[in-house]
Structure 1
Amino acid sequence: MLVFDGVDDLDVAGPYGTWSMARRAGAAVSVRLVSEGAVSTVTTAGGLRLAPVQRWSPGTADVVFVPGGGFTSAQHPGVAVELATGRIPTALRSAVRPGLVLASVCTGALLLAAAGVLSGRPCTTHHRAIAALTEAGGEPVDARVVDDGDVVTAGGVTAGLDLALWLVERFHGAEVAATVARGLEYERQGQVWQSPAPISGGGA
């Protein structure tokens, strides 16, 4: 999970909790908070301090997950600031390799788009950022989760739960995903759109 100052609390907490529960349910899932820079803590938009945050090492990951937050103003930490500095988009662009799945929730998709990985590809984001995603070269799909093989995107905030459960299902099966959803007492919402020939992943 690639985190940064100003990241949305639920964008991180929902998927992190989902994948942690999947691990406790027996799935071979390991989740790490990482940062593009050399920092050990990150502060969310709501003021939560996330730690420990490890140094960015995408070569050891099967999935790189990018949350959103702070898109509307570059006066405060968040996606708008990260777009302006270009550091995270550059890091994401350099991370692309066969076998790696890039995933995002909410305005994290705009960081993927700035990295050039969504150009001409089906994707989604928070409804208030659809125009920006289109302008950045993405092709928005009306679905809660969009799986285009090596890139998986989700709508706003709580859609991160659906993305996380979908990735559990994709990598570890529907039964494990159903067990995790029951543990969360969460009813999956919306549609998962899949490309006709999705690229299969490895472990997660």
Structure 2
Amino acid sequence: MKKPLTIVFPLYPGVTQLDFTGPWQVLSRLPDAQLIAASIGGKTIGSEGLHFSSLQSLENLVDCDVLCVPGGGGCTDAMQDADFMQQIKRLASKATYITSVCTGSLILAAAGLLKGKRAGCHWMYLDTLAWFGAVPVSERVVRDGNIISGGGVTAGIDFALTLVAELVDEALAQRIQLGLEYAPAPPFNAGHPDVAPPEIVNQLMSNMAAQREERRQVIADISQISF
């Protein structure tokens, strides 16, 4: 019997749910694939008012074909969780593909998996990848060998379709895209600071200034420890 393709999403408190539920929706349509959501100790994970339970224990997973690390506001705490990071390193060492969405790439970077590698991240923290020796790339989906990373939150769907094309073929990826009616047509052209109205960018940056600065300082501290 053919072994199913195993895709693991390691979850942690403060994860952004769309970072993994977007890719999950796409990848769940892969034939012969086993998707696993896991956390340290299999504990229930809260995410923006939602709670994900009946999770598997990261420690009990032997290996996986695809490791997909989502991002979120809790990523800096996750990066400082020795048990969580140990499992990321262990599973990545045996994975065929090491992947991430949004600030999940920072977790991979802190684990020492992105040194010299091109990677994407949410635009607000993209430059911090360089602190870990990675090469920041401002694109929706970035690939460097067996490492594939999605940019900001919604790029997770683009990333997942790219991965399906890689794992099977483009025809299946297109059928999944059609089945999900994934045809983005946002009412505003404000999805990236390069195109959003300057006043909108300034307002968001002002609203998040304190939180962003605090988080960047934590990331800077972690990068020093990682090296």
TM-score by length of 2: 0.72
Name the CA shift for 1:62/1:93 in 2 (closer, same or farther; >3 Å). same
Q: Is the 8 A contact 1:181 1:188 kept in 2?
A: no
Show structure 2 runs of 5+ residues with no match: 1-8, 186-227
Structure-2 residue corresponding to 1:202: none
Q: Is the 8 A contact 2:64 2:91 kept in 1?
A: no
Shift of 1:86: 3.4
Which structure dedicates a bigger proportion of its chain to helix? 2
> Whose radius of gyration is greater, 1 or 2?
2
Residue in structure 2 matching 1:34, options 17, 38, 43: 38
Shift of 1:64: 0.7
Matches within 5 A, 1:10-159: 10-20=18-28, 22-23=29-30, 27-35=31-39, 37-44=40-47, 46-56=48-58, 57-70=60-73, 78-97=74-93, 100-159=96-155
Show structure 1 runs of 5+ residues with no match: 71-77, 190-204
Structure-2 residue corresponding to 1:173: 169
Tell me the alpha carbon deviations over residues 25-68 of structure 1, each in whole angstroms, 9 at most, x when there is no partner. xx222211011x11342111x12111221011553310011000
Q: Is the 8 A contact 1:99 1:150 kept in 2?
A: no
Residue 59 of structure 1 aligns to a residue whose secondary structure is: coil
Shift of 1:154: 0.9
Sequence identity (%)? 34
Q: Is the 8 A contact 1:40 1:51 kept in 2?
A: yes
More relative contact order, 1 or 2 (CA 8 Å, 6+ apart): 1
Give the whole-Å Cα distance in 1 for the aligned partners of 2:123 and 2:13: 22
RMSD of aligned Cα (Å): 1.8
TM-score by length of 1: 0.80
Name the CA shift for 1:69/1:114 in 2 (closer, same or farther; >3 Å). same
